[in-house]
Amino acid sequence: MSHPILTDTQAKMKKAVDHTLHEFSSIHTGKATPAMVEGVMVEAYGTMTPLKQCAAISTPDPRLIQIQPWDASLIKSIAKGIQEANLGFNPIVDGKLIRIPLPDMSRDRRLEFVKTANRLAEEGRVHVRNVRRDAHEVAKKAKLPEDESKRLDKDIQTATDSAIKSINDHLAHKEKDLLTV
């Protein structure tokens, strides 16, 4: 039977890992993905709205992102939002579509993205360790029998190691993608 503290800790660690993986998806590797522009804030109807809430984002080929607004009147503000987001993209308005051709990445740009990926991975690992620390504090306050407390601490450490290994594995994969020309 799994202890409720351990179950809660594993859920929080999974959230930390998932968040880190989502952050990784926003780093572009030379291949187009909708996640690269989903979070761009666009002025729509007087409020700032994430792009994914006001347009369909697709990738018809690996070097192109295509955005089709649900309301054609938003085309100019979407193009402006993408330029202001400073992602290094130059949107091209084509009738009722916006096309974003991905430029070839230089070696320096790829290395810059590797550094960003490493920073995001470290933030994820720190978050996992903070969850571990909080779980240990909760376990201490629970005043469990000594053998149960030691088993719980060991299980929490196992969950921590697993979460950090997952982040490291995904980081290695992301680095490989970034450095492959």
Burial of 29: CB neighbours in 10 Å, binned 0-12, 13-18, 19+ = buried
- SS3 of residue 167 by DSSP: helix
CA atoms of 93 and 79, how far apart (whole Å): 7
Statement to judge: residues 171 and 151 lie in one domain? yes
Split into its structural domains, the chain has a count of 2
Please say which residue of 68, 83, 101 terminates a domain: 101
Q: Which of 53, 73, 101 is the last residue of a domain?
A: 101
Strand, coil or helix: 149: helix
97 with 110, same domain?
no
15, 48, 102, 169, 174 from 147: Cα distances, Å:
29, 54, 57, 33, 41
Dihedral of CA atoms 26, 105, 79, 38 in degrees, nearest 10, equals -10
Number of H helices, E strands in the chain: 5, 6
Considering Cα of 34, then 36, then 39, then 42, what sign does the dihedral take? negative
Say what the pLDDT of residue 181 is.
62
- Confidence at residue 107, expressed as pLDDT on a 0 to 100 scale: 84
Mean pLDDT of successive 10-residue stretches along the chain, which has 181 residues:
84 94 79 83 88 91 90 90 83 91 81 89 96 92 89 93 95 88 62
Q: Which domain holds residue 11?
A: 4-26+106-179
115 shares its domain with 172: yes
- Do 97 and 127 share a domain, yes or no? no
Q: Give residue 1's pLDDT.
A: 47
Q: What is the DSSP letter of 71?
A: S
Global pTM reads 0.70
Residue 94: CATH number of its domain? 3.30.1360.40
Answer with the one of 82, 101, 120 that is the final residue of a domain: 101
Contacts of 173 (CB under 8 A, 6+ apart): none
